[in-house]
Amino acid sequence: MLYDGVDGAPAIAIRGLTKRFGPTTALAGVDLSVRRGESRALIGRNGAGKSTLISILTGLSTADEGDIRLYGEPVRPDSSASDIACVFQRTTLVPGLTAAENIFLGDRRHQRRGGFLDWRAVRRDAVALLDEWGCARIADRDVASLAPVERKIVEICRALSRGPSILLLDEPTAGLDEGASRLLFDRLASARARGVTIIYVSHHLDELYEVCDSITVLRDGTDVHTGPVNEVSVARIVELMIGPVEASQGVREVADRAIEREDVLVSLRAVSVAGAVQDVSLDIARGECVGLTGLDGAGHIQLAGVIAGTTRVSAGTALLNGRPIDGGNVRAAIAAGIGSVPEDRHHDGFVPGLSVEENATMTILPRLSRRFGVVDRRRRRSIFTGLASEWAIKISGPDQAAEELSGGNQQKVVLARALASDPDLIVLINPTAGVDVAAKESIYRTIVKLLRRGCTVVVCSSDDADLAICDRTVAVVKNRIGRELASGWDEATLVAAIHGGDDHQPADSELAPARVSTNHNGKDAS
């Protein structure tokens, strides 16, 4: 699915690009052609192959098969850096260096004779670039001390400073506020006017209609559609991303129970977390199961942390039963009746070197302790035996090391620990990540059991199946509350919600639509 070349060879011409990682095929015969000065959206769900394609174009990895040409010339793995600049999704800044030093790191334009750098010129030029963003003040600051939005601006300045002919942007607005995003769009328009070719990767589909004039959709490592962006709606893009699936409702029934919406257990008002959550207000009723979801960096995980009492708010109020949640104080959260399963069970969940029994009962040590803080081992063993039986934890014995368990049973231990204190509220972050199907089903049964007991549950996840059990699912988009979906949503609706809107109908665009031609491999070019 290739655009016709105009005024000579296209800026980027890719044919039959294939990349494998062991048994997994990340890219399977991808074709892509982008003209000079064109802005192409590269869209797809997580795992579709977008980042792999970017890494190959930047020379970070090599393709197994296929041909890549820039302006008609074959690309060598070590030759792309002079033509291509990239703003990666994950930061590539070097902590310990200033913003100015990071912007011109590896740039030889400021070298004097003998290889010495003209530091005064480095700082002067960096200040000029940053000043366009109103950030000249950060030029001399260590990037490790910068706010996420400031780090992103430094990365964008570094890419633009090199005067590339091709600019690759992987989620460039992640972490940017509306003003900074608007400034970025203006800079991209100026770059395109100078003939710079842009590949724009974003999960925020509404941005595409402003930034791009064409779109390529990847699905499961193949390019399934290429065409003018102003001829496809958000709904159509979502259909292309997820493929032919039945528009079915959530895959499992929500536990049958009555919920009094007026009986509010958790109340958030104008809550913000620096660099992650902005002005969020949300009520959760007693006994309700609420899902939180979003794209990487959207802020849903930090929002779940606020509810769990593990993350401090920078503004606003978070209340449980009308009392402030003491953010960042795990002991206070447990005492207040909150249990939580963290995002990373290996880093924040269980303690390696301790037994399964010790890990599962850590939250109730005061209850197990005799005088002078000595743990009543018999009582601990009795409580753990009950937990292991109730939550179906498969172990060789209570003294088995937690790290010896399967991923699913490790997660059950972390869940059992959270439930040992009989919480009123349980917050689960990616509860089924890295566990097998049987373990997933067991965890889902546990959630249903908790709901039937009257426990309030918050499930923060990017897994559709995790969210399907919830009474409602709240999509967090760019650090703010987006759409709220009642139970029974279908996949297309969920995907549209987390990508930032209801729908976008094609409209007249200021950008001239590119002409489309179709290759003869059966791919959609409509």
pLDDT category of residue 245 using cuts at 50, 70 and 90 = low
pTM, 2 dp: 0.65
Helices (H), 222-278: 234-242
SS3 (DSSP) at 29:
strand
Strand blocks (E) in 36-194: 39-43, 65-70, 73-74, 84-87, 166-170
The pLDDT score that the predictor gives to residue 517 is 32
Q: Who's near 407: CB < 8 A, 6+ residues apart? A: 434, 435, 436, 439
The pLDDT score that the predictor gives to residue 99 is 93
Measured CA to CA, the distance from residue 446 to residue 439 in angstroms comes to: 11
SS3 (DSSP) at 308:
helix
Element containing residue 152 per DSSP (H, E): helix 148-161
Last residue of a domain, one of 422, 442, 469: 422
Q: How many CB atoms lie within 10 A of CB 2?
A: 19
- φ/ψ (deg, to 5) at 418: -65, -30
Is the distance from CB of 320 to CB of 283 less than 8 angstroms?
no
| Mean pLDDT, residues 309-323 taken together | 93
Is the distance from CB of 129 to CB of 160 less than 8 angstroms?
yes
Measured CA to CA, the distance from residue 403 to residue 356 in angstroms comes to: 9
463 and 390, same structural domain? no
DSSP code of residue 297: T
Residue 443 within any structural domain of the chain: yes
| Mean pLDDT, residues 204-231 taken together | 92
Residue 201 within any structural domain of the chain: no
Is the distance from CB of 11 to CB of 197 less than 8 angstroms?
yes
359 and 280, same structural domain? no
Residue 278 within any structural domain of the chain: yes
Measured CA to CA, the distance from residue 233 to residue 215 in angstroms comes to: 11
The pLDDT score that the predictor gives to residue 247 is 40
Residues paired with 24 in a beta bridge: 21
415 and 427, same structural domain? no
Beta strands 472-477; 289-293: pairing state: parallel
331 and 455, same structural domain? yes
The pLDDT score that the predictor gives to residue 246 is 42
The pLDDT score that the predictor gives to residue 516 is 31
434 and 332, same structural domain? yes
Using one digit for the tens of pLDDT, what is the confidence trace for 409-468?
888 888 888 888 889 999 999 888 766 666 777 888 888 888 988 999 999 998 888 999
Residue 186 within any structural domain of the chain: no
Residue 285 within any structural domain of the chain: yes
Is the distance from CB of 247 to CB of 233 less than 8 angstroms?
no
| Mean pLDDT, residues 303-328 taken together | 93
479 and 362, same structural domain? no
304 and 428, same structural domain? yes
Position with higher pLDDT, 412 vs 315: 315
Position with higher pLDDT, 246 vs 55: 55
Using one digit for the tens of pLDDT, what is the confidence trace for 337-393?
998 888 876 667 777 788 888 888 887 777 777 777 787 888 888 888 888 888 778
Q: Tell which residue, 239, 185, 175, has the closest CA to residue 208.
A: 185
The pLDDT score that the predictor gives to residue 235 is 85
Indicate whether 292 pLDDT > 60.
Answer: yes
| Mean pLDDT, residues 152-163 taken together | 88
Measured CA to CA, the distance from residue 503 to residue 507 in angstroms comes to: 12
b/e sequence 199-210, b meaning 16+ C-beta within 10 Å: bbbbbbbebbbb
Residue 364 within any structural domain of the chain: yes
Measured CA to CA, the distance from residue 158 to residue 103 in angstroms comes to: 4
Q: Who's near 166: CB < 8 A, 6+ residues apart? A: 11, 12, 57, 70, 83, 84, 85, 196, 197, 198, 199
Indicate whether 141 pLDDT > 90.
Answer: yes
Measured CA to CA, the distance from residue 359 to residue 416 in angstroms comes to: 9
Last residue of a domain, one of 364, 397, 422: 422
| Mean pLDDT, residues 77-105 taken together | 81
The pLDDT score that the predictor gives to residue 219 is 92
Indicate whether 508 pLDDT > 50.
Answer: no
Highest mean pLDDT among 4-8, 140-144, 150-154: 140-144
Position with higher pLDDT, 224 vs 408: 224
Measured CA to CA, the distance from residue 395 to residue 416 in angstroms comes to: 13
436 and 475, same structural domain? yes
368 and 324, same structural domain? no
Measured CA to CA, the distance from residue 298 to residue 459 in angstroms comes to: 16
Helices (H), 391-481: 407-419, 437-452, 464-467
Q: Tell which residue, 309, 347, 302, has the closest CA to residue 329.
A: 309
319 and 370, same structural domain? no
| Mean pLDDT, residues 244-261 taken together | 57
318 and 433, same structural domain? yes
Summary mean pLDDT of the chain: 83
Last residue of a domain, one of 422, 455, 477: 422
Instruction: Please give the residue range of the domain that contains residue 386.
Output: 350-422
Q: How many CB atoms lie within 10 A of CB 30?
A: 24
CATH number at residue 280: 3.40.50.300
Q: Who's near 55: CB < 8 A, 6+ residues apart? A: 61
Structural domains counted in the chain: 2
Residue 385 within any structural domain of the chain: yes
The pLDDT score that the predictor gives to residue 253 is 53
Q: Who's near 382: CB < 8 A, 6+ residues apart? A: none
Residues paired with 98 in a beta bridge: 142
Helices (H), 36-177: 50-57, 99-103, 119-131, 148-161
415 and 293, same structural domain? no
pLDDT category of residue 223 using cuts at 50, 70 and 90 = very high
Measured CA to CA, the distance from residue 310 to residue 303 in angstroms comes to: 10
pLDDT category of residue 248 using cuts at 50, 70 and 90 = very low
Residue 463 within any structural domain of the chain: yes
